[in-house]
Each structure stands twice: as C-alpha cells, then as structure tokens.
Amino acid sequence: MIRSCAAILLALLAALPAFAQDKDKWIRVTSSHFEMYATCDQKKARDAILHFERVREFFTEASPVRPPTEFPTRIVIFHDPDLFYIYAPSRSVAAYYAPGPLRDSIVMGEPSAESYPVTIHEYVHLVIRHSGLKIPLWLNEGWAEVYSTLRPVKDGVAVGDLIEAREKTLEEGQWLTLSELESIGHNSVQYNEANRVGMFYAESWALAHMLYLSPDYKKNFGVFIGALNRGRSLDDALQSAFGKTEARVFADLQEYLSRKKLYGTVFLTPFEKSGETPVVAPVSAYESFLMLADLHAASHHIAEASRLYQQLEADEPKRPEAFASAGYLALGIQQREAARMEFRKAYDLGSTDAQLCLQLAALDRDAKQPPGAVVAELERALKLQPDFPEAQFELGIVKVDLRDFDAAFSLLGGVGTVAPERAAIFNSAMAYVDLEKGNVDRARSEGEAARKAAKTPTQEQSADRMLALIEARSKGPAAAHPGEVVMRAQGTAVGLRCAPPGSDEMSKLGIAIDGKQVLFDMPVPAAVEIVRRPGASPEMKCGALQPFPLIVEYTPSSVANQQTAGMIRWLEF
C-alpha cells in the first residue's frame, strides 16, 4: 500500500532518482534529547546527534535561555543536496529551523565541522522560541549568529569569535540605522532579497555581540531583553537598560567594530563528549513519508503536504498520525472545520497527542458540540500530559460553564502563571467561582483584577457585570457567606409574590417541584443571575404565573429559618 506514497513523492521529485537508491535510505537515530532522521552514513549521524547533545548541554548550563525539555528536537539530515533544497526556504541556506505544531525540526545537509556553526545558529532560534521570549527579528538573528561561533577551549566554551564575512559586509556596505534595523520583519525586503539580507545579518550580529558581550553593556543585557519582551521599543529599551539613546549606541557600535578585535567570552562549562550511545533503527515508509510531508507543511508547501497526508491516510487508515498532521495543516491555513474533522479522526483512532486533544476541544466548543465531548477531550489531554496548564485552564473554564464550581476551583487554582492576554478571562472565572462559594472579598479582588487586565470592550463589560453582581451579594439580606452551599432543582414556576415597595422583605417565588409547591426567597434583581433560553420568553411578573419550566440554584435556608427553602442565586428558563 505504501508504494503509492512513493509514487506520489517521486512524481513531485521528478528527475531525482537518487532518492530511491540505497544510499538515500532513511535511518532514525535517537539520543536523550534528539530524534534524527538521516540519509547520511550511520557514523556521521551518530557523531552529529552527539554534537547536538553537547550543544544542548552548554545551553542548559550557561545560556540565559534554556532549551526545551518537554519533547525531543527533531533533526533531519539530507545526504542529497538536491532533495534538501526541495524543502529549504531558498538555495542560499545550508540549514534551517522548521517550527511545527507537534515538534520542531532542524533541517540540514551532510554534517561536517563547517556546517555545525549554521546548525547551532538554527538551534538558537529553537531555544529562543521555546523560552517564550518575544524579541525583534534582528536580535533573534544576531544573537543566533553570536552563538554560532561556539567552540570548545581548554577551560570551557568560547563564544563571540569574529565572523570575518560579517565584518567585511559592514566595512564595505551602507549601514542601516538602528530604527531601520528594528523595523525589519520576516516579510521585509531587507530580510528576503539576497543582495540586501547580508547587511541585516551583519549589523544584527554586531549589535547583539556588543550588547551581550562587551564590558560597557553586558551587565544590563538582561534588563534590555526584559524591556523588549514587554513590548518596549528599541529606543526605550536602550534608555531603560543602558541610559543611552539610539544615536549614542549606534556610534558606540561603529567604534566597537572599528577596533577589529571584539570581546569574546569563555563560559566555564565543560564541552565534553557525551557518554551515551545513540540508538540507530530503520525507518518505515510510512514514517519517512510522514516526516517529509511535515517538512513540506513547515515550508508552506500546502498542496504537496496535503497530497501526501491524504495518501498516507488512505494507505494506513487505522494510524492517527497522518490525520493529526493534516489537521494541523488545515488549522494553519484557517480551515477550521476541516481541521476539526481531521483531529476527530485522529482522536477516535487513539491519538496520544495532548496538544491535539486541546485543539479539538477548542474547535468543538466553537462548533457548539455537546459539552460532554469537550470535557472528555480535555480530560484526555490532561491524562496524557498531567502538567499541561493550557488544558487545565480550558477545562476549568468549561467546568465554570457547566456550573461545577468545586472542579473549576481545583483546576483553575492549579494553573499557575497566566499569560497577560488571558488574565481577564482567568480572573473573571475565579471571581465567579469564589462568589458562588461565598468568598465575597476574594471574589471582589479577582473581579477588580479582571477589570484591570481587560484588553477588549467585551472583557471590560464582563468584568463590570461581575463586579456589580459581587456588590449586590456583598450586603443586606442577599449577602453571600463563606462556605455557603448552592443546590440545584428543576421545576415549574407558578407564582411570584412581590415584596411591598420600600420594605425589607424579599419577594417570594413559588416553584412546583416533584408535585409539591416550594417557596423561595427572591432577592433584588441585581443579586440574581437570570439566563433566558433561546426562543423562551415567559413573563416574570407579580402574582400567579402562566406556568413555565425553569431551573433554580439556591442557597438553603438555615435550620432556624424554614419559612422558605432558600435564597435564589440563579434562574434559567
């Protein structure tokens, strides 16, 4: 069956028969932190993966940003350069970093001492991405260039050697201003045109080198990074970290380069050969074609990736991996319903990808699928990956919607740090849970935090409504009390006895439950949540009511006061 996959790929790679030759058969090499697919010989593959383990150990011990720990990094090595350039973003690269939804890949040609600096550069991109830092493109590329010079020395690891090609570009070309450097993004011509990108890389390298390693700047480099990460402009970040304007830093940079001798540093971290023995295994046709399809997807070759995923799904319909990858591809191009269908197939086939379960739950919620299905998807995500705060957050929010406040309190209380863009949602949910549990002071504090964190008018209005509800339940006969229990019943509304205007009495709502009429205290409207079902419009007015079904949540009356069953907190009809 898999032969059909080979036929499709060979059609895509017309005139490249070397792919089918024995020397280009794929092998998988695994170590503690890396998974390598390679068509080079086994010795080169083993040496390369051990080199990456040494580089990773250095970043773990000495870098201000740490490598990811939650999954192995994939390395793909092409023996045939023509095949490599089918997937590469351009023919000018010797290696590239391909971030993906399931795992990240570093893709390279034949490994050698000459190619390692480029692969280290790409590995730095991976480390920065997973550190969570939000830094401008120039610093991402410049910092990676500084680290690409990493080499072992007697006392540890040296970083910061002069890169002659970059220095020559700066000597001969027209420099960018720092404002121009800051403005360059992934789609800028200065980053994509071959005759202009050299200056961008050279100046990015030089500026990152000076700020990170020179005596006048390195002490406050962390402050500088923090300012950029918080969204400050380059000029603001330079002022706050170093007390210098862009113009002054630019002049320092030109002087720094004119000395012809940059400040490198030696990190006192051993760069020793790893003692582990990588495991080498053959790769099945399904696995190799799935990996290649993933590379197409990472390079935005949508048609090629889609065709391969479809063929893999047809050839191995009981394996979830191709359905999962096809779902991520569809999600990346905003085909949300197609993504949901693909994820559903992978989920039903037993996918063990916790991220997929989370994505499917989000898509199912948007598609108005039954809450039980969403809960099951999120619970599987947490079973697969217990330390998964995003799934814990989402399941907590669903539990609030389902009015399971004890479960919501437990889940949301264990989420930990919440990203600023989600803080308003988190604080609003916690305020609601605390209010339902009678913790008014804590609810008010969370509600105020939600209002402060609100990013949109909708979030502001939601926080204002929450604060109004909290205020209504903070005093008078409707006051909530710590530890109060909320009960739930279903029945038929039969009558409303309204309290006399200006009196301290509360209105009374009569509800027929299991054939008996039960009386409930009805506080002022501001203290009661009322949810109207779509299409339902019963009239709530004083006196006998035209009977209509409803659900009531109430806090029971005390033993000393049995005149009513309790005080209404929530009504749905």
Asked whether residue 110 falls in the same domain as residue 163, the answer is yes
For each successive 10 residues of the chain (573 residues), what is the average pLDDT? Answer: 44 38 76 93 91 89 79 90 88 86 86 88 91 92 94 87 93 94 93 89 96 94 94 95 96 89 81 80 94 92 95 97 97 96 98 96 96 97 94 97 95 91 95 94 97 95 96 90 91 94 88 94 92 84 93 83 88 93
**pLDDT (0 to 100) of residue 7:** 45
What's the pTM? Answer: 0.82
Asked whether residue 437 falls in the same domain as residue 531, the answer is no
From 484, 514, 529, the end of a domain falls on 484
Task: Confirm whether 294 is domain-assigned.
Answer: no
DSSP per residue, 359-417 = HHHHHHHHTT--HHHHHHHHHHHHHH-SS-HHHHHHHHHHHHHTT-HHHHHHHHHT--S
> Is residue 39 a contact partner of residue 7, using CB atoms and an 8 Å limit?
no
Task: Confirm whether 340 is domain-assigned.
Answer: no
Asked whether residue 90 falls in the same domain as residue 183, the answer is yes
Cβ burial 344-378 (10 Å sphere, 16+ → b, else e): bbbbeeebebbbbbbbbbbbbbeeebeeeebbebb
Task: Confirm whether 468 is domain-assigned.
Answer: yes
From 267, 290, 309, the end of a domain falls on 267
Backbone φ and ψ of 492, nearest 5°: -130, 125
**pLDDT (0 to 100) of residue 561:** 66
Residue 529 region, left (φ>0) first, then alpha (ψ -120 to 50), else beta?
Answer: beta
The CATH number of whichever domain residue 540 belongs to comes to 2.40.50.320
The CATH number of whichever domain residue 139 belongs to comes to 1.10.390
302: tokens are 């949508």
Asked whether residue 562 falls in the same domain as residue 429, the answer is no
**pLDDT (0 to 100) of residue 5:** 45
Task: Confirm whether 539 is domain-assigned.
Answer: yes
Asked whether residue 154 falls in the same domain as residue 238, the answer is yes
**pLDDT (0 to 100) of residue 92:** 79
**pLDDT (0 to 100) of residue 10:** 42
Asked whether residue 470 falls in the same domain as residue 491, the answer is no
Task: Confirm whether 328 is domain-assigned.
Answer: no
Asked whether residue 452 falls in the same domain as residue 526, the answer is no
Asked whether residue 429 falls in the same domain as residue 540, the answer is no
**What single-letter amino acid sits at 266?**
V
Distance separating alpha carbons of residues 484 and 473, to the nearest angstrom: 12
Asked whether residue 204 falls in the same domain as residue 254, the answer is yes
The total number of structural domains that make up the chain: 3
Asked whether residue 530 falls in the same domain as residue 456, the answer is no
- Domain hosting 509: range is 485-572
Asked whether residue 58 falls in the same domain as residue 168, the answer is yes
Query: Which residue, among 198, 141, 150, has the nearest Cα to 174 in the 3D structure?
Result: 198
Task: Confirm whether 41 is domain-assigned.
Answer: yes
> Is residue 354 a contact partner of residue 385, using CB atoms and an 8 Å limit?
yes
Query: Which residue, among 73, 530, 99, has the nearest Cα to 332 in the 3D structure?
Result: 99
Asked whether residue 191 falls in the same domain as residue 217, the answer is yes
3-state class of 333 per DSSP? coil
Task: Confirm whether 514 is domain-assigned.
Answer: yes
From 267, 293, 315, the end of a domain falls on 267
**pLDDT (0 to 100) of residue 149:** 93
Task: Confirm whether 137 is domain-assigned.
Answer: yes
